């Protein structure tokens, strides 16, 4: 029996939008009824990856999900408000080797005890749209898929957070911030009691007592509401103005003592970015340009999402080309330097990578190893890896043992996929071995 997925979807999409508009017009009490349409809203995530679609089919309800993310994730400016991070068009090209010197096209990756898969086939199977490898400061391998090209910018999702963490450390190193201070010292009008007793360091390490945000796909949950304020979903559920500030202000009581528990939450990064703007008097996009884009000699303009107050979507909304992300990874591998220029202070890496695993531990493991989190970046200490992590498969790895940088820009079905995450680590390990032979 033939099923016309597009026709079915278009009909359901009309119904979904009617439901959403109806909900948006109701009072706060009526907003609770949004849970009745969760199943219908979630249906936008159930489309097969290869389903045909038109650009006109994409909207804020579906742009992050299959099949529409095949286009939308590397054209984010078309769907959410973004500020430009200006590059230097005269910057030199990235040094590269075009001959597949390390024979990565024929590299086989062991995905279990009985199965080896060609690297390119494995990348295809996990919906990789951009993939780059750096070694010796040169781009030695790259691939593109799903229509992505060298000049396209991919939204980095939570890999964006590492840019904020490094920026905050740089400002602290310059004497503009005290990591042991409370947010109130820099944003006295924030009026969010959830930060009571916490420091900027607690925010950097995700140790602030926000409540559980629940699902980012379930209408009415804090996670879903946060994405409305961040601009990732249509306005509704009582939200008339997209404002991260007003969203944060509803959290008045911490659910645990700061520093006693790891609790990953986007709002820590969002408020840190507001602090950076406050102490410098500059917009976040300008700070990104001055701190990273110009020193890294990025060749293409980047972008960062902004809400209706002009505050940045620092927790999710950075967007960059694959090659410029590789430049960032090379700087991370060289502990804050790039082509002989100091960009991020050495103290960031001393307080992040050089420290042993300590409590409170993160709640995540990868192939049995605890994923350590500190200063808005992840680490696997047994593998000597520092890496950024973003929803749907956005990763930048710095492999210190093998001196390799690997960038993944993927298009997964869900925010996070354990099997895909494990395959990324297998790929990183296999490439590291290949390079060190």
Domain boundaries, the chain: 104-163+273-436
Which of the four pLDDT bands, split at 50, 70 and 90, describes residue 36? very low
Largest distance between two CA atoms of the chain: 68
Strand 369-370, strand 372-374: pairing: unpaired
What tens digit of pLDDT does each residue of 190-247 get? Answer: 999 999 999 999 999 999 999 999 998 888 899 999 999 999 999 888 898 999 999 9
Task: Give pLDDT, residue 13.
Answer: 57
Mean pLDDT of the residues in the chain: 91
Distance CA 72, CA 76 (A): 6
Given a cut of 60, whether residue 156 has pLDDT beyond it is yes
Q: Are 207 and 262 in contact (CB under 8 A)?
A: yes
Cis peptide before 49 (omega within 30 of 0): no
Please say if the pLDDT value at position 25 is more than 80. Answer: no
Residue 271 has pLDDT above 70, yes or no: yes
Average pLDDT over residues 159-176: 98
Give residue 398's pLDDT.
Answer: 98
With b for 16 or more beta-carbon neighbours within 10 A and e for fewer, the 142-169 pattern comes to bbbbbebeeebbbbbbbbbbbbbbbbbb
pLDDT, tens digit, 9 for 90 and up, residues 252-267: 999 999 999 999 999 9
Please tell me the distance from the alpha carbon of residue 239 to that of residue 241, in angstroms, as a whole number.
6
pLDDT, average across residues 84-111 = 93
Cβ-based burial of 11 (10 A; exposed 0-12, middle 13-18, buried ≥19): exposed
Q: What is the pLDDT of residue 217?
A: 86
CA nearest neighbour of 433 among 100, 110, 137: 110
Burial (CB count within 10 angstroms: exposed 0-12, middle 13-18, buried 19+), residue 114? exposed
Is 11's pLDDT higher than 90?
A: no
Q: What percentage of the chain exceeds 70 in pLDDT?
A: 89
Cα separation, 132 vs 58, in Å, equals: 28
Residue 10: which pLDDT band, with cuts at 50, 70 and 90? low
The reported pLDDT for the residue numbered 436 is 87
The pLDDT of residue 364? 95
Two tokens, residue 336: 């804050």
What residues have CB less than 8 Å from 3, skipping those under 6 apart?
none
Q: What is the pTM of this model?
A: 0.90
Domain 104-163+273-436 homologous superfamily, CATH = DD-peptidase/beta-lactamase superfamily (3.40.710.10)
Asked if residue 264 lies in contact with residue 206, where contact means CB atoms within 8 angstroms, the answer is: yes
Question: Which backbone phi and psi does 406 adopt, to 5 degrees?
Answer: -130, 130
What does the CA dihedral 328, 330, 333, 334 come to, rounded to 10 degrees?
-100
**Is pLDDT of 41 > 80?**
no
The predicted pLDDT at position 17 comes to 55
> What are the φ and ψ backbone dihedral angles of 417, each rounded to 5 degrees?
-130, 115
Q: Given a cut of 70, is residue 27 above it in pLDDT?
A: no
Between 415 and 377, name the one with better pLDDT.
377
Asked if pLDDT for residue 30 goes beyond 50, the answer is no
For 16, the 3-state DSSP assignment is: helix
The predicted structure's pLDDT at residue 98:
86
The confidence score (pLDDT) of residue 274 equals 97
d(CA 298, CA 26): 46
User: Does 302 score more than 60 pLDDT?
Assistant: yes
**Average pLDDT of span 314-340:** 98
């Amino acid at each position: 029996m033939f099923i016309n997925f597009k026709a079915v979807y278009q009909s359901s999409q009309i119904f979904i939008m009617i439901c959403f508009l109806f909900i948006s017009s109701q009072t706060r009490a009526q907003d609770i009824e949004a849970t009745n349409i969760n199943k219908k809203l979630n249906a936008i995530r159930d489309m097969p990856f290869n389903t045909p679609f038109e650009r006109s089919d994409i909207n804020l309800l579906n742009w992050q999900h299959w099949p529409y993310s095949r286009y939308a994730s590397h054209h984010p400016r078309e769907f959410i408000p973004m500020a430009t991070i200006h590059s230097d068009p005269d910057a030199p090209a990235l040094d590269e080797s075009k001959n597949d010197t390390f024979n990565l096209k024929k590299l086989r990756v062991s995905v279990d005890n009985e199965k080896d898969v060609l690297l390119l086939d494995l990348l295809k199977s996990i919906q990789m749209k951009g993939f780059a490898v750096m070694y010796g400061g040169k781009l030695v391998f790259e691939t593109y898929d799903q229509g992505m090209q060298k000049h396209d910018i991919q939204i980095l999702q939570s890999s964006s957070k590492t840019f904020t963490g490094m920026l905050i450390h740089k400002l602290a190193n310059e004497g503009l911030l005290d990591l042991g201070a409370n947010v109130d010292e820099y944003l006295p009008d924030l009026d969010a009691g959830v930060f009571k007793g916490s420091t900027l360091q607690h925010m950097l390490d995700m140790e602030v007592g926000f409540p559980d945000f629940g699902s980012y796909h379930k209408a009415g949950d804090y996670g879903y509401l946060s994405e409305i304020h961040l601009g990732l979903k249509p306005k509704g559920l009582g939200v008339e103005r997209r404002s991260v500030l007003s969203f944060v202000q509803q959290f008045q009581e911490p659910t645990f003592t700061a520093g006693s528990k790891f609790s990953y939450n986007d709002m820590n990064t969002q408020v840190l970015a507001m602090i950076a703007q406050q102490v410098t008097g500059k917009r976040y996009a300008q700070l990104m340009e001055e701190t990273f884009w110009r020193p890294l000699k990025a060749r293409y303009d980047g972008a960062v999402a902004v809400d209706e107050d002009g505050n940045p979507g620092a927790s999710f909304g950075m967007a960059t080309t694959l090659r410029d992300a590789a430049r960032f990874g090379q700087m991370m591998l060289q502990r804050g330097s790039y082509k002989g220029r100091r960009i991020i202070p050495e103290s960031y890496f001393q307080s992040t990578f050089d420290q042993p695993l300590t409590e409170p531990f993160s709640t995540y493991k990868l192939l049995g190893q605890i994923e350590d989190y500190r200063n808005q970046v992840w680490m696997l200490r047994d593998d000597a890896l520092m890496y950024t992590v973003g929803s749907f498969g956005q990763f930048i790895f710095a492999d210190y043992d093998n001196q390799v940088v690997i960038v993944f820009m993927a298009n997964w079905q869900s925010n996070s996929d354990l099997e895909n995450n494990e395959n990324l680590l297998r790929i990183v390990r296999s490439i590291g071995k290949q390079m060190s032979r």
